[in-house]
A and B are shown apart, each in its own frame.
Chain A
Amino acid sequence: MTVRRVMGIETEYGISVPGDPTANPMLLSGHVVNAYASRGGARAAKASWDYEDEAPLRDARGFEMARQYADSSQLTDEEDPTLANVVLTNGARLYVDHAHPEYSSPEVTSPRAAVTWDRAGEQIMLEAVRRLSVAPGVPGVNLYKNNTDGKGASYGTHENYLMRRETPFGDIVRHLIPFFVARQVMCGAGRVGIGQDSTSSGFQIAQRSDFFEVEVGLETTLKRPIINTRDEPHAVADLYRRLHVIIGDANQCDVANLLKLGTTSLVLGMIEDRAISEDLAVSKPVATLHAVSHDPTLQTLIELRDGRSMTAVQLLWVYLEHADRYLQSRYAGELDADTAEVMQRWTDVLTRLERDPMECAREIDWVAKLALLQGYRDRDGLEWSDHRLRAIDIQWSDVRPEKGLYHRMLSLGRVEQLVSDEDVKSAVVMPPEDTRAYFRGRCLEKYAGEIAAASWDSVIFDVPGHASLQRVPMLEPLRGTRATVGALLDRSPDATTLLRELAAATG
């Protein structure tokens, strides 16, 4: 068990046209996707999506929802030609999801790589904004890496983790709910306003928490559950499940993002190995989730069903101690660099959150945002209901470096970056080398004109001399890496050659 596993992050961006709140967000989101897809040199980006393996109504608990009972927003697999939907050379998917442009990162194998390709998504959205700002006949669009408008609407940032299918889903639910109730203190993005539509004024830790209403469920757009049961592995279903985590906020701080992915992966590893010996079940998880988010002093007590009570930080210490003991017993201190980094950062952040949360203003989004907001409150005597504070909350996540307040704080040296801009720039066009995203991305880079469609687990070619489309299945996320297909891709000048060599190698 380490932090390493196949993972990825999907982010729906907030979208608006300055001065025109009635602009059609679906149309605008389509403009965003097409603006990026049509940029110079992006010939790879025109491949469309292959929906054959999508099953958004399949439930991890073992049943499938009848389509007629589903809310239309749950039918994510029906092809609509008016919706833009492309695959990129870095292995990511860029498309319109409901009323937002969404960037789904390629599959990676470490939290650090997840941060890198998530940041690449920010650059892709920024490029789309830049292109639309000069495009004739299209309104200028601003994009925000946040999760609510503060008026009752929320949109998601989802994490995906590949897990062993044999792990009982009940174990995941039991051990993950308490962790998710507490995790927000390390990786919440901060929000001005309490309640889904900001009925009360104030500051809270997480953008998303108020929008979670049940403990377990299939929905993602209504009655949002702490544990989402969508069972759509995009991989060999008998071997794997893809845990679809919908409760997180979009992070801009690298450290918080790294910890979100890294600590969750460790907890999942312990669940798979049955290494969490105690029951940490929380008495009222949904109400407690809200209460923890509403208390930036981090003093709120979480009541466990066994009678114990502890703060969110203390509960996270319990998970960290389990992880530390387990890693010591398995690896005797010889940790891989990714796991060592997450454990060290996790320990460091909990230590300082416990001492004084404001000490984490360089690492954690909600603390960084609160420090700025508090500066304005102190200087200008502002109440939490003041429009200026709400405006700062929104503008914090503007993807433009000259306008986005996170980016301003970064350029002022107020937040810490873990991944260099150079690595992110490379990840905008290059896929990770150690998952099937490598095959997908390189195919898009080299053979875009011969690709009819692609998806997480397939690339479909339309090559001369074949009456039918040629579908290359990729149901093993760790196959199709640079080590296994890099040379083959390098020496195949066209898709016909590639397919012939693939057939020879596998046949």
Chain B
Amino acid sequence: MPSQEQSRPQRRDEEPDEAPAPATAPEAAARKDALDDDIDSVLDEIDDVLESNAEEFVRGFVQKGGQ
């Protein structure tokens, strides 16, 4: 029965050359802080391309069902 304590597969030593190594935990935490810091600049960029009339845009996006 799996549980939090169960040993888990360790990251392999022989990683393929083309795959970048995933960030370690401290790196990921630092990156997350950086993301929080500059989310406002991202929103500013996204603001520029957002559909101007959101309500009309949403209402106009009507699809027929498919598979």
Residue numbers of A with Cβ under 8 A of B are 12, 14-16, 18-21, 25, 73, 97-100, 144, 148-156, 158, 220-221, 246, 308, 310, 314, 317-318, 320-321, 324, 333, 335, 337-338, 340-341, 343-345, 347-348, 352, 355-356, 358-359, 361, 371-372, 375-376, 378-379, 386-388, 390-392, 394-395, 402-403, 405, 408-409, 412, 414, 418
Contacts and interface: CB of A to CB of B under 8 A. Distances in A.
A405 B49 contact: yes
Contacts of B58: 150, 387, 390-391, 394
Contact of B32 (A310, A337, A359): A359
B59 A337 contact: no
A151 B62 contact: yes
Interface in B8-67: 8-9, 11-12, 14-19, 22, 25, 28, 32, 35, 39-40, 42-43, 45-46, 49-51, 54-55, 57-67
A402 B61 contact: no
Query: How many of chain B's residues touch chain A, expressed as a range?
Result: 35 or more
A344 B61 contact: no
Contacts, number: 166
B62 A18 contact: no
A333 B6 CA distance: 21
A344 B65 contact: no
Contacts of B16: 337-338, 340-341, 344
B59 A308 contact: no
A344 B19 contact: yes
A390 B55 CA distance: 9
A143 to B, nearest CB: 11
A355 B26 CA distance: 12
11 contacts: A25-B64, A149-B62, A156-B66, A324-B9, A335-B14, A337-B17, A340-B16, A341-B18, A347-B8, A375-B42, A409-B42
A14 to B, nearest CB: 5
Interface of B: 1-2, 6, 8-9, 11-12, 14-19, 22, 25, 28, 32, 35, 39-40, 42-43, 45-46, 49-51, 54-55, 57-67
Given A220-B67, A246-B67, A340-B16, A387 B62 contact: no
A74 B32 CA distance: 46
A408 B54 contact: no
B12 A335 contact: yes
Contact of B9 (A12, A321, A358): A321
B62 A21 contact: yes
A155 B42 CA distance: 30
Nearest to A393: B58
Given A347-B8, A348-B11, A221 B66 contact: yes
A402 B60 CA distance: 20
A347 B60 CA distance: 41
A148 B63 contact: yes
Contacts of B35: 361, 371, 414
Contact of B67 (A98, A338, A358, A372): A98
A148 B61 CA distance: 10
Contacts of B46: 372, 392, 405, 408
